[in-house]
Amino acid sequence: MKALHVLRRVCLGNDSKVAQEIGELEELEELDLSIDDNKAIDKEVLKELALSISKMHSLRWLTIGQHGSSDDGGKILNFLHDLPTPPRLLRTLLITADIENGLPRWIGSLAHLVSFITLRTTLIGEELFDVPCKLPNLKALYLHWDCYRGDELVARSSYKFLALRDLILGGYQPKVIRFEEGSMEMVEMVELWFGARRSIHVVERRIASIEHLTKLKKVTLQCPADNSTLIGTVLEQLKDENDGRSRTNSNQFQITVKYT
């Protein structure tokens, strides 16, 4: 099977031999791998997996995450910080589990990466943007499902995102999303997916300084059909911004609302 190009829906248990053998698939271009967190994974297994991923010089697509959930809140993907060398030709990277101390720094060195997706990483402060903003060819950034914890998510002016066109923020949004001048200047499409647990008091959301996204062409708001109040303030802010652009003959953007 050393000529295999695609390997999907693989669940790695507590077997270091399997973790080692994955690295022998030298022609692999797409890997979709989850780690069984219902079992006590030995550190040696994760060490072997890190070595295997480092050997995948043909890899273009990597999905890595967690299967199940441990009771101790362990960060099963912490081993990613210790990759000897990253798969340099990656074009798409999807991380679907929590990880301590922010995203691995080597992600910022992936010169060919065009799409980055993260789910359930529960990052905080600068941890969400400070690594992917270094990617020179990143065109699509998808941040979903509790990937961030904090009341305000800020795209700072130091986060240039020189090639970013599509920004999708999904799940349980912070109270405020803010775009500083000079950040994400090339973004053309923004999607905000609002979800709310019914047992939690609904908090009003705001989007701040969207006027700094001068190339914006489309904004999509998505929320539950039975809770349209989630997007009320944001929708009004977007309409006001469009009105202002109309008065100054600036580029307006399309606003779309989807109910699920």
Hey, which residues does 220 pair with through a beta bridge?
191, 256
Evaluated on CA atoms 259, 199, 145, 216, the torsion sign reads: positive
| Residue 75 confidence (pLDDT) | 82
| Residue 68 confidence (pLDDT) | 66
DSSP of 100-167, one letter per residue?
SSSS-GGGGG-TT--EEEEES--B-GGGTTTTGGG-TT--EEEEESS-B-SSEEEE-TT---TT--EE
Q: Outline where the chain has alpha helix (H).
A: 16-22, 43-54, 232-247
Rounded Cα gap, residues 37 and 68, in angstroms? 5
- 172 Cβ neighbours under 8 A, 6+ residues apart: 145, 146, 195, 196, 197
Hey, which residues does 141 pair with through a beta bridge?
116, 167
| Residue 194 confidence (pLDDT) | 81
| Residue 78 confidence (pLDDT) | 93
* pLDDT digits (tens), the chain, 260 positions: 888 999 999 899 888 999 999 999 989 999 999 998 777 788 999 999 999 999 999 999 999 998 765 544 458 899 999 999 999 999 999 999 889 989 999 999 999 999 999 998 888 888 999 999 999 999 999 998 778 888 899 999 999 899 999 999 987 668 889 999 999 999 999 999 887 544 344 456 788 899 999 999 999 998 888 777 778 888 999 999 999 999 999 999 999 999 88
Q: Where are the domains of the chain?
A: 1-149, 161-260
CATH code that applies to domain 1-149: 3.80.10
The number of CA neighbours under 13 Å toward the Cβ of 234 is: 28
Q: Which residues of 91-100 are buried (b: 16+ CB within 10 A; e: fewer)?
A: ebbbbbbbbe
Q: Residue 161 in contact with residue 128, Cβ under 8 Å? A: no
Q: Is 243 exposed, middle or buried (0-12, 13-18, 19+ CB in 10 A)?
A: exposed
